[in-house]
Amino acid sequence: MVSISFDGFNSSASGYRIATCFDENGFAEFHVYTKEVTERRNEFPPVELKPDGSGNLSIRDTQGFREYDFNKIKLIGGETHVTQQKKVRYLIFKYDPDDINNTGKSYEKHVTVTNKRKISEGKVLPYNIKLGNVPHSLLSFANRFIAQEPLSLEMLKFENSRSNENSFLELVLELSKSLQDPNVEGFEPKTITYKGDLTAEINYQTLKGILVFESHGDFVYEITPDLDNIIVDANRGLGDYVSYDIVPFLPSQILDHAVNQNPVKEDRRLSIDTIETAIIVMNRNNDDIKFKDII
């Protein structure tokens, strides 16, 4: 469980998801979702929706791992779902890129995502992520090539345990800060090492965009976009994949809550883990594409 507060509103949440899209112009989308769960007869703490929805959101945990603050973020809406036994509420927060990405402004001035959880290495796995000085094992890796003219696309998907090292969320915040520097054209390139000498360079000339999802608690069980479902063309941008399709209960759970008098035992534990998912989409010159041996 984590605690959330938003301008006088305080509650306990069973999870959260931070969902962002960064491209050559800055952040195209930046959302924060929270989820509260209680028994059907209980009431959630009231939350005030201001005319402009703007306020300061904070997320904390009892272990003292995370100090997350999102200042001047908008509460754009919420959903409540009730069964015979459970009540679930989602709150949806969002930054307006038009206000933040202007010259002289940056998400870095509004967002603090300090995570003090140290890397805990168990079994050494073949794929290791290294964004800074200290590598640690990836949870999963995938890549996809899409052949097209004049430039093809390469997609890389990394899934990583969130800690005080190798954070993609902190990476895109750093890129956003660099993008506001008048002395730098675009942003400073960053290199990701993910297996031996296999690397991916994020640079201003070739980057189409980066999707980053940080999922905690109940949101660990919710899906993130698959590479084969991502389409980037004139009609659809990467920012379209940030929005979260809320599915609070499966049909089987709704039926189970109705027919069973005793509180239902959920078939999944409340996860204390935090998973970061990053999807990087880059333009590639067709002459340079070679399918790498990543097995």
* Collapsed DSSP state (helix, strand, coil) of residue 265: coil
- Strand-pair partners of 11: 4
Query: What are the pLDDT digits (tens) for 233-258?
Result: 656 788 888 987 888 888 888 888 88
In the predicted model, is pLDDT for residue 146 greater than 50?
yes
Contact indicator for 106, 123 with CB cutoff of 8 Å? no
> What does pLDDT average to over the chain?
81
Q: Report strand pairing: 274-285 vs 26-39.
A: unpaired
Contact indicator for 209, 153 with CB cutoff of 8 Å? no
Count of beta carbons in the 10 Å neighbourhood of residue 45 = 12
More confident residue, 17 or 266: 17
- Looking at residue 124, its pLDDT comes to 53
Which residue's structure tokens are 């000339």? 205
Query: What are the pLDDT digits (tens) for 164-194?
Result: 878 889 888 888 877 777 676 778 778 887 7
**Could you say which DSSP state residue 99 is in?**
H
**Confidence label for 270 from pLDDT (cuts 50, 70 and 90):** low
Amino acid at 257: H
The pTM (predicted TM-score) of the whole model is 0.88
Nearest to 194 by CA among 155, 241, 140, 246: 140
Q: H or E element: which one contains 86?
A: strand 86-94
Contact indicator for 284, 209 with CB cutoff of 8 Å? no
More confident residue, 22 or 134: 22
- Looking at residue 201, its pLDDT comes to 81
Domain segments of the chain as ranges: 2-288
Query: What are the pLDDT digits (tens) for 32-64?
Result: 999 999 988 899 998 877 767 788 999 998 888
